[in-house]
Amino acid sequence: MKLEALLFDVDGTLADTERDGHRVAFNQAFAEAGLDWEWSVDLYEQLLAVTGGKERILHYLDNYNTEFNRPQQLKEFIADLHKSKTRHYTDLLNTGAIPLRPGVLRLLKEARQAGLRLAIATTTTPANVSGLLKNTLGEEGESWFEVIAAGDIVPAKKPAPDIYTYAMEQMNLPAEACIAFEDSENGILASHGANLKTIITVNGYTVGHDFSGAVIVLDSFGEPDQPFKVIAGDAFNKTYLDIELVKQLQEKK
Ligand code: XBP
Ligand code: MG
């Protein structure tokens, strides 16, 4: 079926947000609340097994900080911590500290020129998506995306397919007319669960993940003067990801 839409994950795919963005904001929120918790780069790699910030904090308490004297209203306590984390994270975005990954801006522009429809499918909080898009694409950035499916809009976060299914329902498109862009194992489990062909770009945290079934695994989208590295799959002799290659990958049986 003809390609109509590109569905993008955000964290790790559009921008390298986790290690120097989300992780730092979590630690700032913990410090502000007077907690002595510190999520190191290595610990955070393990915590990334669980998507969603609130879910990740609970996972941390259940598995890495069982001694913590939990407040009676644990859910509210975590929700408040997470609100503070979102504030710190969006403040960080507003400093311009987190750029888009190589090739992302070029590919988005090409896609718009080619008349393709764009959507976001992410587990992160909507304010974080707005912040990233505004600070990297400009005030109009959000309007490039027909649907921004994010955060708690579906109860089951990735690896559940729900966020992708929701985005396609909103666009009234079948999976065969779309392709997904992901960076992690939880991400590809979600996109594959929604029957989407998936292009992977890895990052430091996800390079060892299992990407079986991806149409291609790259180290980045690449640029004309900054070729991608093909980790798995066939790039049809291309050195960067353009819409022609995206279409070739989507059509491949
Ligand atoms: C992203 C996430 C998010 C962020 C934190 O996963 O797991 O939880 O780490 O964002 P994906 P929030 O890239 O697979 O969508 O704190 O706003 O939840
Ligand atoms: Mg991701």
What's the pLDDT band for 195 if we cut at 50, 70, 90? very high
Q: Indicate whether 68 and 130 sit together in one domain.
A: no
Residue in 11, 16, 162, 183 annotated catalytic = 11
Residue to probe by mutation, ligand 1, list 56, 152, 201, most atoms within 8 Å of CB = 56
Mean predicted confidence (pLDDT) in 81-97: 98
- Considering the domain architecture, whether residues 81 and 135 belong to the same structural domain is answered as no
Residue 62 designated active-site = no
* CATH assignment at residue 30: 1.10.150.240
Return mean pLDDT, the chain.
98
Query: Do 120 and 228 reside in the same domain of the chain?
Result: yes
Per the annotation, the verdict on 11 as an active-site residue is yes
User: 73 and 9, same structural domain?
Assistant: no
CB 144 within 8 A of CB 112: yes
The rounded distance, in Å, linking the Cα atoms of 174 and 177 is 6
For residues 50-75, give the mean pLDDT.
Answer: 98
The domain boundary, picked from 49, 70, 94, lies at: 94
Which residue's C-alpha comes closest to atom 4 of ligand 1?
124
For 147, the 3-state DSSP assignment is strand
pLDDT at position 200: 98
Give me the domain span that covers residue 32. 18-94
Q: What is the dihedral of CA 74, 78, 83, 86, to 10 degrees?
A: -170
- Of 29, 63, 94, which closes a domain? 94
**Same domain for 114 and 66:** no
Question: Looking at residue 107, which CATH number applies to its domain?
Answer: 3.40.50.1000
**pLDDT tens digits, one per residue of 167-178:** 999 999 999 999
| Tens digits of residue pLDDT in 8-29 | 999 999 999 999 999 999 999 9
Atom of ligand 1 nearest to the CA of 26: 16
Q: Given 69, 94, 119, which residue is the final one in a domain?
A: 94
pTM: 0.97
Label the pairing between strands 216-218 and 197-201: parallel
Q: CB under 6 Å to ligand 1: residues?
A: 9-12, 18, 22, 51-53, 85, 122-125, 128, 158, 184, 186-187
Return the ligand 1 atom nearest residue 25 CA: 16
Of all protein residues, the one whose alpha carbon is nearest to atom 16 of ligand 1 is 53
- Give the tens place of pLDDT for each residue, 79-88: 999 999 999 9
Task: Mark whether 59 and 145 lie in a shared domain.
Answer: no
The total number of structural domains in the chain stands at: 2
User: Quick one: which ligand is closest to 163's CA?
Assistant: 1
pLDDT at 253: 78
Are 67 and 131 in the same domain?
A: no
